Amino acid sequence: MITVENLVFSYTNKTFIENMSFHVAKGEIFGFLGPSGAGKTTLQKILTGLIVTYQGSAVLNGIECKAHKPSFYENIGVDFEYSTLYEKLSARQNLQFFGSLYAKPIRNIDGLLESVGLKNDGDKKVSDYSKGMRSTLNFIKALLHDPAILFLDEPTSGLDPTNSRIMKDLILHEKERGKTVLLTTHNMQDATELCDRVAFIVEGEVKALDTPHNLIMRKGAATVKYTFNDGAEHTAECPLTQTSEDSLLMQLLKSNRIRSIHSSEPTLNDIFMEVTGRTLK
Ligand SMILES: Nc1ncnc2c1ncn2[C@@H]1O[C@H](COP(=O)(O)OP(=O)(O)OP(=O)(O)O)[C@@H](O)[C@H]1O
Ligand SMILES: [Mg+2]
């Protein structure tokens, strides 16, 4: 669905994206992960035809992005970091207006509002919407014309846990409907849960690209951490696969002297820190 080959781009006279290549298959949820300023939004802008001054190739649904025609936007839906809604119009009026810009028929507005719990607020002006309500409205705006490819820039940022769950379920539902989704997120748990594959972008370069599971497995084995008290509190750990070889652990288990015990699997957060050399801010 998307093929990027030898992509080169710079905002200034210094090259920012240098020879980037990757592809995204139809029906895939593909995540761009990486620290602030890494180039995730820049990449989305290139793929959505907003930046056309790149070299190399970025082909989306058979169309070279920089050579796109207006009909290009009939097939892509964009929910970027900053919401683009008319404050003085109600949610419903916004959706009606943006829907009227497409040549093809749009989805049922009431159904979309209902899917994100905004049905009773559909006639409220956007200026009276909360931050989370704006985010969800901006998201359904991207679904209006039932696009084949969705670009989501930090879709769950600023949402409460319930709304974040609703949003993630809707993203998964779009995948089930055969849509391709490209998303950026700073939330590694969301990325693990949602993405079929993720690309770690650091300073305009793809540093790692694989399924979250493969990346996590490459990091190594899970460990068991336990604490016990023999006059003073102690902590020890051993690999999960070698618990029976840990004589101290066996002894403590037999004598019921374990105070706490838990396994700790590597997460995408660990991979983030390893690949980018820094923690999430
Ligand atoms: N219009 C612009 N002109 C010049 N430099 C820009 C412009 N837009 C972005 N940049 C620079 O390009 C780099 C990448 O920015 P980008 O917005 O793609 O980062 P990001 O990975 O999306 O970060 P975040 O996680 O904070 O959203 C940054 O150094 C930024 O300052
Ligand atoms: Mg960004």
Measured at the alpha carbon of residue 198, what is the angle toward residues 195 and 201, in degrees to the nearest 5?
A: 145
Residue span(s) of the chain under CATH 3.40.50.300 come to: 1-75+178-219
- Residue from 41, 50, 182, 280 whose mutation best tests the ligand 1 pocket (most atoms within 8 A of CB): 41
- Structure-block tokens of residue 13: 């006279």
What is the atom index within ligand 1 of the atom nearest the CA of 42?
A: 18
Per-residue pLDDT at 145: 96
Question: Mean pLDDT lowest for which of 30-34, 164-168, 211-215, 261-265?
Answer: 261-265
Distance 40 CA to ligand 1 centre (A): 8
Per-residue pLDDT at 31: 97
Distance 43 CA to ligand 2 centre (A): 9
Please state which of the four CATH numbers 3.30.360.10, 1.20.58.100, 3.40.50.150, 3.40.50.300 is assigned to the domain occupying 1-75+178-219. Answer: 3.40.50.300
Cβ neighbors of 138 (< 8 A, separation 6 or more) are 79, 83, 84, 85
pTM assigned to the model = 0.87
Distance 1 CA to ligand 1 centre (A): 25
The finding on whether 36 has its CB within 6 A of some atom of ligand 1 is yes
What b/e string do you get for 115-147 counting C-beta neighbours within 10 Å, with b at 16 or more? Answer: bbebeebbeeebeebeebbbbbbbbbbbbbbbb
Question: How far is CA 60 from each of CA 3, 57, 72, rounded to the nearest angstrom?
Answer: 7, 10, 9
Tell me the percentage of the chain whose pLDDT exceeds 70.
99
Number of H helices, E strands in the chain: 9, 13
The finding on whether 277 has its CB within 6 A of some atom of ligand 1 is no
Pairing between strand 29-33 and 180-184? parallel
pLDDT tens per residue across span 132-186: 899 999 999 999 999 999 999 999 988 999 999 999 999 999 999 999 999 999 9
- Structure-block tokens of residue 212: 């979250």
The finding on whether 50 has its CB within 6 A of some atom of ligand 1 is no
* pLDDT exceeds 70 at position 255: yes
Burial environment of residue 277 by CB neighbours within 10 A (0 to 12, 13 to 18, 19 or more): exposed
Burial environment of residue 84 by CB neighbours within 10 A (0 to 12, 13 to 18, 19 or more): exposed
Distance 33 CA to ligand 2 centre (A): 10
Query: Which ligand sits closest to the CA of 39?
Result: 1
Are 78 and 165 spatial neighbours (Cβ–Cβ below 8 Å)?
Answer: no
